[in-house]
Amino acid sequence: MKRKNKMFMSLLLGSALLLSACGSNESSGSSAAGDGEWRPNKPIEMIAPAGAGGGWDTTARTISKVMEKENIIDERMAVANKPGGGGAVGWSYVDKKGGDHTLFVTSPPILFVPLNGQSELGHNDFTPIAGVIADYSAFVVPANSPYESMNDLVDALKDDPTSISVVGDSSPGSMDHMAFVKAVKAAGVDIKQLKYVSAQDGSGMSMLLGNKVDVYSTGLAEATEQARAGKVKVLAITSPEPLEGETVSEFPTLKEQGIDDEFVVWRGIMGPKDMDPAAAAFYEQAVKDMMETDEWKTQRDNFGWNDNFMSGDEFQKFLDEEYKTMESLLKEVGLAK
């Protein structure tokens, strides 16, 4: 009888320890598979730090869709929009939430907005997971514009930098503005006197087509759509080499016109600063696996994106280098904090 009691007590103790371990694992919000590797054990929240329909939102929803469809992850990846402050509202949300089950899509504003003094959070306040895609900027004019090339525009800006108005859908010192600034600086224009108009309500193309401004600095996708319709001329795109594909192959690069510059509208994934390194490694590999699927390639080509995978370490180094470049430009135009 004593032996049976001892066996019963041993089993009871073992069960209690097992339940305790499971409870501890659930409360920490992380899990380790049988092979010792970290796995998410609850839904993952993917933050798009802007409203629906923009680049961050489209990227977040595409990644979520492919991850789930291709069974790259076992848990659901739900996209949540957190618009405001050029991304700052979303970054603040992620920073406060922390943990291993929150990610967000990022792009150049994670550098520009802090440099402008509009956010206390910057790229070093988060965990870089992976670089994902590369998109490019385009500089467009109305179809009836007297400017036929980027060099025509540059010559006019050299004669009088204040004679031409440039519109973008981002705030002064952010992506649309600085893509143009960087390009014309490389061409020898005095960037301190440029006239930039911010259309943060998304009315940049309407202003251009209404002849209220001379040039529109925008993303490649919107430029392509209007060029196909015959409403605009694309003076230059910021890709390092000519692009393949219908219509976009007709757009000249800056380098083809003798302007030694390029501007990558990169997008990647980041997580909270306190993220477990094992969790970061899991998500990095998940992104890499996702980008090798046919479904991803179909979605990527549909949006005209280019693969631009970077590991977490590579992404961090890239961001540090980009930060220095943009800081120098912003200081030159008087917009750095």
Mean pLDDT split into 10-residue runs, the chain, 337 residues? 45 42 40 69 96 87 96 96 92 98 96 92 98 95 97 97 93 91 96 91 91 94 90 96 89 98 95 97 98 95 89 98 93 86
pLDDT at 229: 94
Kindly list the domain boundaries of the chain, sorted by start residue: 38-134+266-332, 136-264
CA distance 138 to 169: 13
pTM greater than the 0.75 cutoff = yes
If one counts every other C-beta atom within 10 angstroms of the C-beta of residue 138, the result is 26
pLDDT at 35: 56
pLDDT at 253: 98
pLDDT at 167: 96
Q: Quick one: CA torsion of 280, 285, 287, 292, rounded to 10 degrees?
A: 170
CA distance 170 to 82: 17
pLDDT at 335: 87
pLDDT at 301: 85
Q: 3-state DSSP call for residue 211?
A: coil
Beta strands in the chain (DSSP E): 31-32, 38-39, 44-48, 77-81, 102-106, 126-142, 165-168, 195-198, 215-219, 232-237, 264-272, 306-310
pLDDT at 29: 45
pLDDT at 26: 36
Residue 281 belongs to what H/E stretch?
A: helix 277-290
- The dihedral built from the CA positions of residue 225, 179, 252 and 162, taken in this order, carries a sign that is positive
pLDDT at 138: 96
CA distance 225 to 231: 9
The residue assigned the tokens 């050299």 is 158
* Residue length of the chain: 337
CA distance 83 to 88: 8
- Return the half-sphere exposure (C-beta side, CA atoms, 13 A cut-off) of residue 179: 32
Residue of 81, 80, 76 whose CA lies nearest to 43: 76
pLDDT at 11: 42
Q: What is the CATH code for 136-264? A: 3.40.190.10
pLDDT at 153: 98
- Identical fold at 38-134+266-332 and 136-264? yes
CA 9, chain centre distance (Å): 57
Q: What is the CATH code for 38-134+266-332? A: 3.40.190.150
pLDDT at 262: 95
CB 55 within 8 A of CB 135: yes
pLDDT at 202: 80
